[in-house]
A and B are shown apart, each in its own frame.
Chain A
């Protein structure tokens, strides 16, 4: 595959060959932003440009890629990946359904999105640091795996159903469907629906605004908080283990079909 580096001296046009060391990235190429140019890239529809092999944004790049309302629309080969380490903002819209791996690890401070992802869903999304808005409304499903070890991720209301979400540290706000949730640290606020399985071993799960949690929750540690819920909240089976903290109000407690509180002798 050919590597081509963003090298613009002033132009923000993606599809201008002079802005790249080896021409505009096309099929099977690797588009690299390594900081040799700090010029931002304007959004453009590059979905006809062929499946890129990778997009790699180095920590040294501080420019933006696309903008709100005018993202970079692109296609990429299966697996990708898209690795974002830059300190600017990237607005990426995936136009094909080849399911790339996406990772974000940026020093950009929280408070504004380092990555705003729309279009088709990635195969997986790993967020190590930085703020991400995931709102992939076009794919068949959300990412099969979303792992957050730091930073802040908001799963927008338009996002397709995410498979398994693992929160190790940092914060997640869910506004859409998620099939399963693992929390080992950090804080997750659930305003979405249908957590088939919720496992909390550390950190905090906060159910906000009566999310429909269809099946099971196992709270082996950390906090499981449904104090903001009403009787409209729904949970089929909740197991609370020694060392875990379960916060509720009488209405939300009553909305749990089976409660196994293993902190007491006989649940």
Chain B
């Protein structure tokens, strides 16, 4: 009887622990419920060589980890037939490169975190909309990440430079630049929301909505439907076709490089906003509400 009571108590405690475990743990700690396989090459650069991985070549549902135990580069190759990876994780300790600009790693993957210091060139071969984050100590002179193929769902750049050139798929829902640089090519798919907190973003194509909270946006050849500037600077490098609205709440909206071909439906400039222009570009704005004046 005593034994049964203790067993029941133990079972209850275990059940309680199960309830307290929880989603918080699931969310914040990596749970090794998928196979992690570590890049451990001693010399070979071949991605698809089983001996180069601690758990074999990463396949469907696996996490490919570059944790620095090997500093060998991984050459670009076509892994599009290998199944959807859960993630590629490049840890801070890894200094090697993965693929090259002309020969990227072609792969389907659901998540990419690049914290290494080498250059990573990925061509996403499936429209599975991964989350991508970059926090790399790689020199800003060269891209830490070159992204091509299908678009990601979200791209977060905390540090490092990203060359953004997805030409397949649909628009990327959000690109957030905290620091570093973003270079979006003229051929890349549209960005639905570009959020710039710091660093420099150079955009050459369409962005549906732009929010400048710091840093600088250098925009050219682009249709920006809505631009909100709260700090930092938005520089139009040529005659952007603004089909929508600009709010210069703080920071600077600079169209000094534009001509009368510049087009903007409505511009609102607030007391802490700065609006820099030339007369030609000014005349191309349909409605200006300059709330720095008594009555706009």
Q: A-side interface residues toward B, CB under 8 Å?
A: 56, 58, 79, 81, 83, 85, 101, 103, 105, 124, 126, 128, 145, 147, 149, 164, 166, 168, 182, 184, 197, 199, 201-202, 216, 218, 220-221, 239, 241-242, 250, 253-254, 256, 259-262, 264-267
Residue-wise interface mask of B (103-138) relative to A, using a CB-CB cutoff of 8 A (1 in contact, 0 not): 000000000010100000000000000010101000
Within 8 A of A (CB), among B244-288: 245, 247, 249-250, 268, 270-272, 287
A160 to chain B, nearest CB (A): 19
Q: Which of A164, A201, A242, A250 contacts B24 (CB 8 A)?
A: A250
Given A85-B294, A253-B27, A168 and B289 touching (CB < 8 A)?
no
Of all A-B residue pairs in the complex, the 10 with the closest CB atoms, nearest first, are A254-B23, A201-B213, A184-B230, A220-B197, A259-B27, A168-B249, A83-B295, A253-B24, A149-B270, A266-B113
* Residues from chain B with Cβ under 8 Å of A202 in the complex: 213
* Residues from chain A with Cβ under 8 Å of B214 in the complex: 201
Query: When chains A and B are docked, how far (Å) is the Cα of A124 from the Cα of B213?
Result: 21
Closest chain A residue to B173, Cβ basis: A216
* Residues from chain B with Cβ under 8 Å of A221 in the complex: 197, 213
Closest chain B residue to A85, Cβ basis: B294
Contact B291 A105 (CB under 8 A): yes
30 chain-A/chain-B pairs, Cβ below 8 angstroms: A85-B295, A103-B296, A126-B270, A126-B291, A145-B245, A145-B247, A147-B249, A164-B228, A166-B228, A168-B230, A168-B250, A184-B249, A199-B195, A216-B173, A220-B178, A220-B195, A220-B213, A221-B213, A239-B156, A241-B156, A241-B158, A241-B178, A242-B158, A250-B22, A253-B23, A259-B28, A261-B28, A265-B113, A266-B89, A267-B133
Query: When chains A and B are docked, how far (Å) is the Cα of A14 from the Cα of B113?
Result: 65
Beyond A220-B213, A250-B24, 16 extra complex contacts between A and B, CB < 8 Å:
A79-B287, A83-B295, A83-B296, A126-B270, A126-B291, A147-B247, A164-B228, A197-B193, A220-B176, A220-B178, A241-B178, A254-B22, A260-B131, A262-B133, A262-B135, A265-B91
B70 to chain A, nearest CB (A): 19
Closest chain B residue to A261, Cβ basis: B28
Contact A184 B231 (CB under 8 A): yes
Query: When chains A and B are docked, how far (Å) is the Cα of A166 from the Cα of B23?
Result: 32
Q: Which of A79, A145, A267 contacts B113 (CB 8 A)?
A: A267
A262 to chain B, nearest CB (A): 6
A91 to chain B, nearest CB (A): 21
A102 to chain B, nearest CB (A): 11
Within 8 A of A (CB), among B211-254: 211, 213-214, 226, 228, 230-231, 245, 247, 249-250
B154 at the interface (CB under 8 A from A): yes
* Residues from chain B with Cβ under 8 Å of A254 in the complex: 22-24
Residue-wise interface mask of B (198-216) relative to A, using a CB-CB cutoff of 8 A (1 in contact, 0 not): 0000000000000101100
* Residues from chain B with Cβ under 8 Å of A253 in the complex: 23-24, 27
Query: When chains A and B are docked, how far (Å) is the Cα of A184 from the Cα of B212?
Result: 10
Query: When chains A and B are docked, how far (Å) is the Cα of A39 from the Cα of B294?
Result: 22
Contact A149 B271 (CB under 8 A): yes
Q: Which of B27, B154, B178, B213 contacts A242 (CB 8 A)?
A: B178
B233 to chain A, nearest CB (A): 15
Contact A182 B24 (CB under 8 A): no
A173 to chain B, nearest CB (A): 20
Query: When chains A and B are docked, how far (Å) is the Cα of A166 from the Cα of B174?
Result: 18
A56 to chain B, nearest CB (A): 6
Given A220-B178, A254-B24, A201 and B156 touching (CB < 8 A)?
no
* Residues from chain B with Cβ under 8 Å of A264 in the complex: 28
Given A218-B174, A254-B23, A184 and B213 touching (CB < 8 A)?
yes
* Residues from chain B with Cβ under 8 Å of A85 in the complex: 294-295
Closest chain B residue to A237, Cβ basis: B154
Closest chain A residue to B28, Cβ basis: A261
* Residues from chain A with Cβ under 8 Å of B291 in the complex: 103, 105, 126, 128
Closest chain B residue to A163, Cβ basis: B226
* Residues from chain B with Cβ under 8 Å of A265 in the complex: 91-92, 113, 115
